[in-house]
Homo-oligomer: A and B are copies of this chain.
Amino acid sequence: SRSLNLAVIPGDGIGQEVVAEGLKVLSAVLPQDVKLETKEFDFGARRYHATGETLTDADLDALKGHDAILLGAIGDPSVPSGVLERGFLLKLRFAFDHHVNLRPSKLLPGVATPLAGQPEIDFVVVREGTEGPYTGNGGTIRKGTEHEVATEVSVNTAYGVERVVRDAFARAQARPRKKLTLVHKNNVLTFAGHLWTNIFNKVAEEFPEVTTDYIHVDAATIYLVTDPARFDVIVTDNLFGDIITDLAAAVSGGIGVAASGNINPSGAFPSMFEPVHGSAPDIAGQGKADPTATVLSVALLLRHLGYEAEAARIEDAVSTDLGERGGLPARSTSEIGDALAVRVAG
């Protein structure tokens, strides 16, 4: 009999509520012979206030043994900006070398979009997760004075760029349209831009069936609202990926349905799956949060671990559920979770 050994990090705000529904759907979809074991970790604002710790070496060791990690949300207004982001979320992505940050955008039937004319949207952003301006390189001199200088260094390596670009090409190759777009700003950020562009062009030779193009990040935001159907797979750097995936989520139904995976394709460390949304403290504890993004993150988690049929069953359930509920009164967090659990159970 098989087993799925999951680390669960509910986190802050609505994290607890949405993760509960994600686990409910996971239990319902898993084949009988798979033994699901979950271990909950209490990371986030509460832990930080109680101990001053965000993510210790011992924590990382404890997480390491799992097949994957499911995270709800981390972040609270009571903690200064950057402490939990750098001290937990980014620390985990870097420690476990989550270099493929996978963010699919699909406008499902019945889902509202701010764009006129309900365009077709079905693309995936492969965001680099361990380099770029996210490395924490940089510093400040003469802090707080009128002569302060603060720098942020974007670090880009051939090693880091090539592996994520190759991953994106493979994903494009596996999709019907087989199209990959590089998004960067190589006309201004010429050092990093040339590295990305050269490696992209080099790896392209290994994937002759994949159609490629290049767009500057500023222009990409225009296409995302005027012609999102032009995109199939996008590969981009850590910061550009952060920005365009929020926009992508907004146009394809909002962050209530946007899932993501922080993936280490080598399997050397567990990959981590989380909704794109944050902890939304304003609605926490009220049963108002939409667990759909977490449920879809569970689907990405299952696909990553080889449970393709189960992943597809979750995505179909979400699609049917959203299609049928259009125009109906809003449901509570657990009502949505229950409905999805029933659907995937079959």
The residues of A with any CB-CB pair to B shorter than 8 Å are 81-82, 85-86, 90, 113-117, 133-134, 136-140, 142, 144-159, 162, 185-195, 197-198, 217-219, 221-222, 224-226, 239, 242-247, 249-251, 254-255
A85 and B188 within 8 A (CB): yes
> What chain B residues lie within 8 Å of A190 (beta carbons)?
81-82, 86, 136
- Residues of chain B contacted by A243 (CB below 8 angstroms): 217-218, 221, 243
Residues of B within 8 A of A138 (CB): 153-154, 189, 191-192
Q: State whether A193 and B82 are in contact (beta carbons under 8 Å apart), knowing that A153-B151, A222-B247, A246-B218 are contacts in the complex.
A: yes
CB contacts (< 8 Å) of A224 on chain B: these are: 247
The residues of B that contact A254 with a CB separation of less than 8 Å are: 226
Q: In the assembled complex, how far is the CB of residue A245 from the closest CB belonging to chain B, in whole angstroms? A: 8
CB distance from A151 to the nearest CB of B (A): 5
How far apart sit A187 and B134, CA to CA, in the bound complex (Å)? 10
Our pick among B157, B225, B250 for the contact of A148 (Cβ within 8 Å) is B157
B151 lies within 8 A of A152 (CB)? no
Q: How far is the CB of A236 from chain B (nearest CB, A)?
A: 12
Shortest CB distance A87–B (Å): 11
**Chain B residue at minimum C-beta to C-beta distance from A144:** B198
15 A-B residue pairs with Cβ-Cβ distance under 8 Å, sorted by A, are A81-B186, A81-B187, A81-B190, A85-B188, A114-B115, A114-B116, A116-B117, A142-B158, A149-B155, A151-B155, A185-B239, A185-B242, A219-B246, A221-B243, A222-B250
Other-chain residue from B117, B153, B156, B247 in contact with A153 (beta carbon distance below 8 A): B153
Query: In the complex, what residues of B have CB within 8 A of residue A139's CB?
Result: 191
Question: How near does chain B come to A83, taking the closest CB pair, in angstroms?
Answer: 9
**What CA separation (Å) do A249 and B195 show in the bound complex?**
29
- Which single member of B149, B197, B218 contacts A156 (CB below 8 Å)? B149
Query: Could you say which residues of chain B place their CB within 8 Å of the CB of A140?
Result: 191, 194-195
Give A55 Cβ to nearest chain B Cβ, in Å: 16
Contact of A186 among B82, B113, B137, B148 (CB under 8 A): B82
B249 contacts A222, CB within 8 Å? yes
Contacting residue for A150 out of B148, B151, B156, CB 8 A: B156
Nearest chain B CB to A145's CB is how many angstroms away? 7
